[in-house]
């Protein structure tokens, strides 16, 4: 006959073990959540800001060179898109950020403008993104490093001001006077403009047939003024786009509004004259 022994201490021991296991599980989940938060904070510190080149390993371009050939980039967290300018051409591609400050850039698409005095440096700038393996942020400076931990380049976080949001960007015309603008079969490229910085404050662009240029002034409360506008005099009889109407936008604009990658030019009565989109490829 078997003997059944009741052990009064057995059940509390099992409960105690289960309680310890539960606490360990809670701590593990909390630790994972904490890690995810830190990783998110790290990504937030490097994305959605403009980074301007201040030092290139082995080259050290002068302040005058970097003023003339401004090198910068931005990492957009919303679509994991990297875009910027290598000192001559706009570029755009993808990026990913991993643990331990790992960063990888995909293949970039680059415009094809020729800058003979910057050609050598341009290649070295693009090589930084090709060889980047990790990053570090120290005192608002971003260090991109190679696989062995050597610094490839140092970038300074741009000051957050109204002008940096509109300058040094390729603004493609989307709508004018409420009508969507589409490329005609006789057009070689879309209408666009750029506001150049570096002490010259020049506007340059293309109006559908002719190139144009002039000067601009940015003031408080998102006010903008264009002056000394001039264009080439090429004749395009088959052009369906009204160049004069587009150039009048720069004459009549008083203020601007930026919403994400969209730019809106408004007249004195706050009516929208034209809307643009920031792009980085021809």
CA proximity to 133, closest of 151, 119, 116: 151
Q: What is the pTM of this model?
A: 0.50
Angle value at C-alpha 266, between 228 and 158, nearest 5 degrees = 75
| The pLDDT of residue 281 | 55
| The pLDDT of residue 29 | 38
Instruction: Per-residue pLDDT tens, the chain, 282 aa: give them.
Output: 444 444 444 444 444 445 444 444 433 434 344 333 334 445 558 998 888 899 998 777 777 777 678 888 989 888 899 988 898 888 999 999 999 999 999 999 998 888 888 888 999 999 999 999 999 999 889 999 999 999 999 998 876 555 668 998 999 999 999 999 987 767 778 999 999 987 668 999 999 899 999 999 998 878 899 999 999 999 888 888 889 999 999 999 999 988 878 999 999 888 999 999 998 654
The DSSP secondary structure of the chain, one letter per residue, reads -------TTHHHHHHHHHHHHHHHHHHHHHHHHHHHHHHHHHHHHHSSSEEEEEEETTT---HHHHHHS-EEEEEETTTTEEEEEESSSEEEEEEEE-GGGBEEE-PPEE-----GGGHHHHHHHHHHHHH--EEEEETTEEEEE-TTS-EEEEEEEPP--HHHHHTT-EEEEEEETTEE----TT-SS--EEEEE-SSS-EEEEE-SSSEEEEEEEEETTTEEEEEEEEE-----TT--S-HHHHHHHHHH--EEEEETTEEEEE-TT--EEEEEEEE---
For residue 80, CA distances in Å to 34, 47, 57, 103 come to 23, 9, 26, 12
| The pLDDT of residue 280 | 65
| The pLDDT of residue 36 | 37
Pairing of strands 202-206, 211-219: antiparallel
Structure tokens at 249: 């936008």
**Which domains are seen in the chain, by residue range?**
46-157 (2.40.128.270), 162-279 (2.40.128.270)
């Amino acid at each position: 006959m078997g003997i059944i022994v009741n052990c009064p201490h057995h059940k509390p021991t099992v409960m105690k073990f289960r309680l310890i296991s539960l606490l360990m599980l809670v701590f593990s989940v909390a630790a994972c959540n904490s890690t995810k938060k830190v990783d998110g904070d790290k990504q937030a510190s490097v994305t959605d800001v403009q980074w301007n080149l201040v030092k290139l390993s082995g080259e050290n371009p002068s302040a005058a060179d970097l003023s003339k050939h401004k090198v910068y980039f931005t990492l957009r967290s919303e679509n994991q898109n990297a875009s910027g300018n290598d000192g001559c051409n706009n570029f755009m591609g993808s990026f990913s950020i991993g643990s331990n400050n790992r960063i990888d850039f995909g293949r970039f698409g680059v415009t094809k403008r020729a800058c003979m005095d910057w050609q050598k440096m341009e290649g070295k700038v693009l090589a930084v993104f090709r060889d980047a393996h990790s990053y570090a942020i120290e005192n608002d400076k971003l260090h991109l490093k190679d696989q062995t931990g050597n610094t490839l380049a140092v970038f300074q976080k741009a000051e957050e001001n109204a002008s940096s949001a509109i300058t040094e960007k390729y603004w493609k015309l989307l709508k004018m006077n409420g009508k969507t603008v589409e490329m005609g079969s006789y057009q070689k490229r879309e209408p666009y403009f750029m506001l150049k910085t570096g002490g010259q404050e020049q506007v340059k662009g293309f109006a559908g047939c002719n190139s144009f240029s002039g000067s601009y002034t940015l003031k408080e409360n998102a006010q903008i003024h264009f002056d000394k506008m001039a264009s080439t005099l090429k004749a395009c009889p088959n052009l369906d786009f009204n160049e004069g109407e587009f150039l009048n936008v720069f004459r009549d604009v008083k203020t601007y509004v930026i919403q994400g990658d969209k730019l809106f030019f408004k007249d004195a009565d706050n009516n929208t004259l034209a809307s643009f989109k920031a792009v980085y490829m021809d």
